[in-house]
Structure 1
Amino acid sequence: MYDYPVALTRMNNGDVMVKFHDVPEALTYGENEAFALEWAQDALHVALADYMDGHRDIPVPSAPAPGQPTVSPSPMVALKLALYQAMRDQGVSQLRLAGLLHCDARQVRRLLDLDHQSTVNQLMDAAEVLGFRLGFELRKKPGGNLAGGRVTQQPACAC
């Protein structure tokens, strides 16, 4: 949903700079492409939080060119961004949402805080009172095939 295309540029010192066309405030770099893309998610998070703090619409990602890398916020952050944008689109204030949810306005502020640990159930309840249903999808990422049934890069596992 919030899958933003990025431009990668090799700098004179060998670092890789990441720019977001749709979110120009998100700008970062890393010593190589992998690190740069890792830092890009953090830069995107900070920039989109600033959009929310400034009461601005969340930019709609443009379509990536074939083979162009993209960066997305974490799933929880994406849910919070979608809730925030739904509220803006419908003209629903935090105070009004608190009333609809029969809760304190502080709880709604925390629900929209990208750094606060909310639950999916809380976001589902908020989406419901706004007339939305929360849905999830699992999409194959480019080049996301297993090589001969083996994982080529060790995923981080909290199992």
Structure 2
Amino acid sequence: MEYPVKIVPEGDAFIVTCRDLPEVNSVGYSKEEAMTEALDGIETALMIYYMDGKKKIPLPSEPEFEEYKVHLPAQVAVKAALYNEMIKQKVTRAELGRRLNWKQAQVNRLWSLDHSTKLESIEAAFNAIGKDLEFVVA
């Protein structure tokens, strides 16, 4: 999953925005630092959606002229897909925990983008909402 971002020089800084995720507003003092900050900003924006728990995370659009692509780590992308599917099916975290027979702390760790979750746990969560987890190597 790759989100397009715009990096615009402003003085001695580079401002990062993402039209798919208007919550992203990052700054770097080189283009390389701006790209690193863009990833952090995207992950922070995704957490805003997670905390709200009501709106689907917008999927990335195709990059436009002079936009850069920010590649999300696989675990972040798959957790975002799980979140969107749960919103679509109106499955709450509490309901997911009941379906998996997990304690709330386990579900919270699954929900955290910065927690390294075992693939088996992510797959179990998808199965609990009636979905299979498949991978495509691109």
TM-score, normalised relative to structure 1: 0.79
- Paired-residue identity, %: 31
Secondary structure at the residue paired with 1:115?
coil
Question: What number of residue pairs does the alignment pair up?
Answer: 137
User: In 1, are the aligned partners of 2:21 and 2:58 still within 8 Å (CA)?
Assistant: yes
Structure 1 residue runs without a partner (length 5+)? 140-159
Larger-Rg structure: 1
Give the match for residue 10 of structure 2. Answer: 11
Matched, 1:137 2:131: no
Query: Could you tell me how far apart the structure 1 residues matched to 2:47 and 2:87 are?
Result: 15
Q: Which amino acid aligns with 2:111?
A: L
Give the match for residue 33 of structure 2. Answer: 35
Give the match for residue 126 of structure 1. Answer: 125
CA RMSD of aligned residues (A): 1.6
Query: Could you tell me how far apart the structure 2 residues matched to 1:97 and 1:5 are?
Result: 31
Deviation, 1:66, is 5.6
Q: Compare relative contact order (CA 8 Å, sep 6+) and give the higher one, 1 or 2.
A: 2
Query: Could you tell me how far apart the structure 2 residues matched to 1:18 and 1:95 are?
Result: 35
Query: Could you tell me how far apart the structure 2 residues matched to 1:73 and 1:53 are?
Result: 19
Higher strand content, 1 or 2: 2
Higher helix content, 1 or 2: 2
Q: Which amino acid aligns with 2:131?
A: F
Give the match for residue 44 of structure 2. Answer: 46
Secondary structure at the residue paired with 1:70?
strand
Deviation, 1:108, is 1.1
CA offsets, 1:18-52, max 9 Å, x none?
A: 11011111111212211110111011111110111
1:93-132 mapped onto 2 (5 Å cutoff): 93-132=92-131
